[in-house]
Amino acid sequence: MVLRVDSAVAEPERAPLLEQVQNSYGGTFDSDSISTSSPTGTIVPRGAEPAKSIAEEEASLGDGETGAEEPGIGRSQVVKIIGVLLIGIFVGHADSSILLATHGIIASEFNSLENSTWLITSFTLAGAATQTMYGKLSDIYGRKPLVISAYIIFIIGCFIVGIGQTMGQVILGRVISGAGSAGMGALVSVLITDLLPIREVAQWRAYINLVATLGRSVGGPLGGWLADAIGWRWSFLGQVPVVGLSIVLCTIYLPSHAESLKEPEDPTVTRKSKFNRIDFKGSFVFAIMVLALLLPIELGGSQLPWTHPIILSLFALSALLLVLFIKIEQRAPEPILPLEIFHRRDAVLSFVILGLQTAAQLGLMFSVPIYFQITSKTSTSAAGAHLIPAVFGNAVGGLASGLLIKRSGRYKSLVLLAVVTSSLSYLLLMLRWHGNTNWLESLYILPSGLGTGIAQSALFISLQVVIDPAHMAPAISFMYLSTTVFITIGLPLSNAIMHAPLRWGLQNRLLALGMSGAEIRKIVARAISDLEYVGSTTGAVHKVIVASYVDGLWWSHGFSFLCSATALVLALLLKEKRLDTVRV
């Protein structure tokens, strides 16, 4: 919970997962008796110590050193609560990296390489449709039931992907996995803000990001190796027992407020009242709105011209649905997205900057494996390994920024550093990656990861210091949603930007070789749909295909640079608030 200095008396925010907790004397107290976190991060029951003024509390904080432990939830319990969720964090991010490294070979098996982005966009679209639901539902039903539900949905999707016999079935599995994955990450961040002082939030999120980075680092090479050795399906089927173990651990170790609440005489009425609080109408309209925006971006320029009536109609529909969504949320008793969140300029800037940064890096990570498979004829596993510098940069950036924020209480300069560093990375790729990339030049993607890692921690704090505590859970969920939406839009847009010059350049180069129209159409169709075909070509045909891919990927890197440069302009507009003026 965040209390500002100029506040009068603020009602403490509930932590629904921890509705009742065991104190150090063996008794219990419910969340109405939980005070704000102590400087140590311990949740203290009211009455455990004399009330202090804000000035006295700030003086006791000093330079960030903590005092004696208070009764309540100790640091070891916080570690246990968050620690059992790390398996899910690891697997969820490994899954994303696996898909980035293997989407080409998966789609090629179904002769649909040009549609390979749907393996990723279907996942992120499902996340966009369900992301904000987790924040509100966890406020209503508690964190634990929502965490377990997210895990179950995720493993059902992984199983469907593993046994899918058509591209449509595999995409369906990715949709289901995306709906589960949306809650696996967001709820951990909500829990951190429930339990910890604001100066420690960035540091603990950095630890979570480190586990996520490890998952992304392992996922790409592991997925590529499995695809080469025993088939890509085992990359997804193998996740099922691991997440199943995580469900068991969550069931055992995560506190459940539902077990400790005294049930009313008519439990059906209680369940119905809780159910009626859910903003299903707003969630449905928002999901359709995102789909209406995504489809024309995915189809435009590749399967339909941008001026086609279907493309224009879908864009218009998405705009109308946005207006309808706002009207619904204004009238909803408990909107899934309180519109007051968007009255805070720095909150909106934080959403957009992080979304642009994430879209830029994912566009890069989508293109890097393709680049090395095309230009160097590397295996799927070797191509996936080239993603490691970026995800390593994520870990270093997150850890460093978390520590700096805790010590200095400042975050805006870190946001500026993040976007400048990322922009430099994409500019280097545009200038130097032309088909003959040595090992040193392959490290140019590291600053991209470094910048994104810094931005994730710093922008989370930027959001937390300006949001009303009552809206913290939906605001955090929307921050995750904003990155999902930017990915959903940015990835197919990046893919379209790559394929348009690729197709045009390849046609012209093949025409210059004296080939007929029929031959050109056949080669172009196979070159953009099957990477194995590209590797099997030789001579002049192979050279023109590689040159055309390099041209297309140059434009893709340019798109990433444009996103990051835009984020830099927006970062200049942020107004920093020192964390020693904010009390948790």
Per-residue tens of pLDDT for the chain, all 584 residues: 333 333 333 333 334 344 333 333 233 333 333 333 343 333 333 333 343 443 444 444 444 443 333 334 566 777 777 788 888 888 888 888 788 777 778 887 887 776 777 887 788 778 777 877 787 777 777 778 888 889 999 999 999 988 888 888 888 999 999 888 888 878 888 877 777 777 777 777 778 878 887 887 787 778 778 877 888 888 888 889 989 888 988 888 776 653 333 334 445 545 666 666 677 788 788 778 877 877 787 677 667 787 888 889 999 999 999 999 899 888 877 777 788 888 889 999 999 999 999 899 888 888 888 888 888 877 776 777 788 888 788 888 888 888 888 888 888 999 999 999 999 999 999 998 988 888 888 889 999 989 998 998 899 888 888 887 778 878 888 888 788 778 777 877 888 888 888 889 888 888 888 888 888 888 888 888 777 788 788 888 888 888 899 899 999 999 999 999 999 999 999 988 766 555 44
Number of domains present in the structure of the chain: 1
Indicate left, alpha or beta for 330 from its phi (over 0: left) and psi (-120 to 50: alpha). Answer: alpha
Q: Which residues pair with 583 in a beta bridge?
A: 3
480 belongs to a structural domain: no
320 belongs to a structural domain: yes
The gap between the terminal CA atoms of the chain, to the nearest Å, is 5
The tokens for 311 are 């493309």
Q: What share of the chain is helix, strand, coil (3-state, %, to 5)?
A: 75, 5, 20
The tokens for 243 are 């997440």
Do β-strands 28-30 and 34-37 pair in parallel, antiparallel, or remain unpaired?
A: unpaired
Number of neighbouring beta carbons within 10 Å of residue 62? 11
Residue type, 121: T
Give Rg (Cα) of the chain: 25
226 belongs to a structural domain: no
User: Do 98 and 254 contact (CB within 8 A), yes or no?
Assistant: no
pLDDT of residue 267: 52
Indicate left, alpha or beta for 467 from its phi (over 0: left) and psi (-120 to 50: alpha). Answer: beta
pLDDT of residue 357: 92
pLDDT of residue 59: 43
Give me the helix-helix angle, 412-432 and 388-408, nearest 10°.
Answer: 160
319 belongs to a structural domain: yes
The residue whose two tokens read 């990835």 is: 491
98 belongs to a structural domain: no
Domain that holds residue 298: 280-331
300 belongs to a structural domain: yes
303 belongs to a structural domain: yes
What distance in Å separates the CA atoms of residue 540 and residue 1, rounded to the nearest whole number?
64
234 belongs to a structural domain: no
Number of neighbouring beta carbons within 10 Å of residue 403? 14
Phi, psi of 22 (to 5 degrees): -85, 130
User: Do 373 and 380 contact (CB within 8 A), yes or no?
Assistant: yes
Determine the distance from the C-alpha atom of residue 237 to the mean position of all C-alpha atoms in its chain, rounded to a whole number.
22
The tokens for 143 are 């964190």
